[in-house]
Structure 1
Amino acid sequence: MRNLKRIVLCGLLLAGGLGLSAAGAGGAAAAREGRGDVVAVQRLRPLDTAEAARAELAGAEFDTGTVRFGVDMFQIVYRTVDPTGKPTIASGLLALPRSGERQLRVVSYAHGTELNRTDAPSMWRDGWSVGPAITYASAGFAAVAPDYLGMGLGPGPHPYLHLPSETTASVDLLRAARAVAVEQGRALRREVYVTGFSQGGSAATALGKALQSGADDWFRLGALAPVSGAYDLRNVELKALLTTVEWPYNLGYLGYLATAWSRLHDLPTFFDPKYAGRVESLYDGVHTGQDLGETLPGSPAELFSQEGLALLGTPSGRFAAALAEHDASCTGYRSPVPTRLFAARTDEQVPVANSEHCAAVLRAPVVDTGTQEYQGSVHLGSNIAGTAQAVRWFLQLS
């Protein structure tokens, strides 16, 4: 998930305001009305040399030990579908190594919880948002990082922790990235190394499951290495958020889930009437973690109604069914590819039991990311440490 105290930029940025250029007329994909078709591409600031990539990573406290190349960065706007299956657009990031290699292995990285849409990877607001993509690209991979629906340049509210739309957004970005790579004289290989952090951990396991099931005609799952995911919302994460995770993270995540899932799954409001409108309006992609922290009360008992608190504690009905859908990203299959789950044993926001439960089903090891902190958080530090461990493992597999 994310540091809710971080101050981020406000303001809804629309595609028309960023100088996006339409995809070239020579690309047949841009002319079709299909999922993964490229709508627009913006070349972002290049990291011309390996030294420039190291500097960008070091500034965000990411490991620089695997940097070999400079990186070219592209913001892609592409066609996908919303949670109801209707056509929409989303944005995402493609990072290509300046390696001279034409055939590139692919890493798909799914980011953690963000409140403000400008913190999505393709917006490149700071080194944190692009650190994993730069890590993988500077090591020689083509890195693809979806913003998710409603983040970056995508319209509408973000369907938080909604795995079906996180999966379609991820698959369709892979298709769009493949087309953009061709225009750059590069080719993306079929095998995708799938990873992601926190919210992106379960997005990664869901994408891996989809690729294994044939979600795309070209791409297939090559390896799976999610970091610190909340894979078991019902039995682990919800209980932790209600009992042990400290303020403001507990209420911030619970409020995000309650706001998004009431809309997605036609659930009654979870909130106490004193807070319902005030808190729900803050999960619009425009407000910040600081805004949320200034609005939240001190405890779940204050934020939620008695009925809402009871439903969070003992899920039933449509809420229980939605939790089962989310938690199924780790069930029903044994990963046929190399798989590792990375997690911190002392994570203060996403207990390691999430990873242990998922790993038991996938029959994969849980690799400890240690006690590294970022902004005082072991959870955030696990993104940095897990990325460093995952890229080295991917290099061994290549």
Structure 2
Amino acid sequence: MLQKRYILRYFVILFISAFIFTTCRKDDVPEYEHFVRNTLASSYSESYIDALLSYAGQSYPEIAGLQQHVTTGVNVYKVVYRTMVGGKRIEASGLVSIPDVPGEYPVLSFQNGTNTLNAACPSEDPGNYMYQLVEYIASMGFVVVIPDYPGFGSSSDIPHPYLLSEPTVNSITDMFRAVNEATDEFPGVQLKNEYYLIGYSQGGWATMSLHKYLETEAPDEFTLAGTVCGAGPYDLYHILTGMVSSESYPVPAYLGYIIYAYTFYDYIKNPVNDLLNEPYASRLSTLYDGNHTADQINSQLSTSIPELVKEDFRTNYSDAKYSSVRNSLVTNSIEPYNTQIPLLLVHGDADTQVPVSSTNLFYDKMILAGTSSSVCTKTIIPGLDHGDAIMPCMTRGLEFLIDIRDNK
């Protein structure tokens, strides 16, 4: 009898120990609202970054001024997180680049320009030369966030919501939230509630949309310190009107991207064949699948606008029939307002893809809305087309943001 009692006690103790052990292990795994996982993609030493910037400076002399700010190496992570697109929860992705020296750092978010190829998004191609240059910004004392945007990386199974403000802003702020809540997953790093934004082309528009959202709708959650927007299509109604009324446009992939995304996500109610001629209308849905470059898409469309776009749409753009087109463009444009946060707008004056008038008009309207000219400044770079102005925009913009940070 005594032996049975000891055996029973042994099993009770064993059961309780096992229960406590498994319970503790379950509790040790954090449950995050947004963060899903991260994986180390690459690491770069301070000396490597310094050497590569020296090499890059041979092609882009303006980079030389940034080398003085390099103080650490960096670790680059691919991050997967939860967000919402079209009323559905998805897993989106991007890159986070952090200094390899422990400390508390502000956040800098980079929004890239138009991309149609999944293999070329940040998390799928972190070793891309241009992405590397952005990743290296972490060596200058920032935690750098580089979103893929929905439709790329971990969410490549859905169409990219191109130039749609709500899913764009939501996905970026949810990435901020994911990194904020999971700092333990990034050893040695703490985040300051201090955010800097920079982006070019589509990224310029996304950055300005984000700037306005953080300042006007989420100031208690995110403290925005400064923003740089390059060559963004801020007034989409103005941009598309210019496209469809012209005789030619060099990058028809942009026009097709807008029509495809806006019809797929039910912003434009018209069928595609109301807007585009055949065979372009029928082939549009096959082009934006993440497997085609912009050049490949351009070759399947036409730079001749009369050939590409339906004549009725071009000549009767203001008719009620096309009201959903006009309304959706207005909805996703950025309404100028009185910002109190330092903002730099940059554009090349020879831009044939996003006309410099986009920045000039937006700047003028921001000033008319009450923004001080000392808060919102504008730099127009002479003689540079869309692609040529990227590096000057980034280097001047980064100096602008570093100056704000260092003089806070």
TM-score, normalization by structure 1: 0.82
2:379 paired with 1:367: yes
Q: Which residue of 2 aligns with 1:391?
A: 398
Which amino acid in the other structure matches residue 78 of structure 2?
Q
Measured at CA, do residues 271 and 97 of structure 1 come closer, stay the same or move farther in structure 2, by a change above 3 Å? Answer: same
Moved more, 193-202 or 59-68: 59-68
How far residue 203 of structure 1 moved from its aligned partner, in angstroms, is 0.7
Deviations 1:296-335 (A, max 9, x none): 23412222222343466879411111111122x242x311
Measured at CA, do residues 127 and 245 of structure 1 come closer, stay the same or move farther in structure 2, by a change above 3 Å? Answer: farther
Kindly indicate whether the alpha-carbon contact (under 8 Å) linking 1:245 and 1:349 is maintained by their aligned counterparts in 2.
no
Kindly indicate whether the alpha-carbon contact (under 8 Å) linking 1:206 and 1:330 is maintained by their aligned counterparts in 2.
no
Structure 1 residues without counterparts, runs of 5 or longer? 1-23, 373-377
How far residue 132 of structure 1 moved from its aligned partner, in angstroms, is 5.2
Which amino acid in the other structure matches residue 292 of structure 2?
H
Matched position secondary structure for 2:358:
helix
**Partner of residue 172 from structure 1, selected from 160, 171, 174:** 174
Q: Which residue of 1 aligns with 2:307?
A: 302
Kindly indicate whether the alpha-carbon contact (under 8 Å) linking 2:53 and 2:64 is maintained by their aligned counterparts in 1.
no
Separation in 1 of the partners of 2:179 and 2:219?
13
Separation in 1 of the partners of 2:327 and 2:27?
45
Which amino acid in the other structure matches residue 320 of structure 1?
R
Moved more, 307-316 or 230-239: 307-316
Kindly indicate whether the alpha-carbon contact (under 8 Å) linking 2:348 and 2:386 is maintained by their aligned counterparts in 1.
yes
**Partner of residue 344 from structure 1, selected from 348, 352, 369:** 348
Matched position secondary structure for 1:284:
coil
How far residue 72 of structure 1 moved from its aligned partner, in angstroms, is 1.1
Q: Which residue of 2 aligns with 1:70?
A: 73
Separation in 2 of the partners of 1:130 and 1:241?
33
Separation in 2 of the partners of 1:267 and 1:204?
29
Which amino acid in the other structure matches residue 365 of structure 1?
T
Matched position secondary structure for 2:75:
strand
- CA RMSD in angstroms comes to 2.6
Matched position secondary structure for 1:44:
strand
How far residue 172 of structure 1 moved from its aligned partner, in angstroms, is 0.5
**Partner of residue 356 from structure 1, selected from 353, 360, 382:** 360
Query: If each structure's helix is expressed as a fraction of its own residues, which one has the higher value?
Result: 2
Measured at CA, do residues 77 and 320 of structure 1 come closer, stay the same or move farther in structure 2, by a change above 3 Å? Answer: same
How far residue 390 of structure 1 moved from its aligned partner, in angstroms, is 1.1
Separation in 2 of the partners of 1:190 and 1:27?
25
Separation in 1 of the partners of 2:278 and 2:225?
48
Which amino acid in the other structure matches residue 208 of structure 1?
H
| Aligned residue runs from structure 1 range 1-398, under 5 A | 26=28, 28=30, 31-32=31-32, 34=33, 37-52=34-49, 54-55=51-52, 58=55, 63-67=63-67, 68=70, 69-82=72-85, 84-98=86-100, 100=101, 102-124=103-125, 126-131=127-132, 133-154=134-155, 155-183=157-185, 184-215=187-218, 218-236=221-239, 238-240=241-243, 242-243=245-246, 246-247=249-250, 249=251, 251-264=252-265, 265=267, 266-269=269-272, 270-310=275-315, 316-327=322-333, 329-331=334-336, 333-363=337-367, 364-371=376-383, 378-398=385-405
Q: Which residue of 1 aligns with 2:372?
A: none
Separation in 1 of the partners of 2:303 and 2:228?
35
Q: Rg bigger for which structure?
A: 2
Deviations 1:103-126 (A, max 9, x none): 111111111000101211222255
Kindly indicate whether the alpha-carbon contact (under 8 Å) linking 1:57 and 1:127 is maintained by their aligned counterparts in 2.
no
Structure 2 residues without counterparts, runs of 5 or longer? 1-25, 368-375
Measured at CA, do residues 312 and 96 of structure 1 come closer, stay the same or move farther in structure 2, by a change above 3 Å? Answer: farther
Matched position secondary structure for 1:225:
strand
How far residue 185 of structure 1 moved from its aligned partner, in angstroms, is 2.0
Kindly indicate whether the alpha-carbon contact (under 8 Å) linking 1:300 and 1:309 is maintained by their aligned counterparts in 2.
no
Count of paired positions: 359
Matched position secondary structure for 1:124:
coil
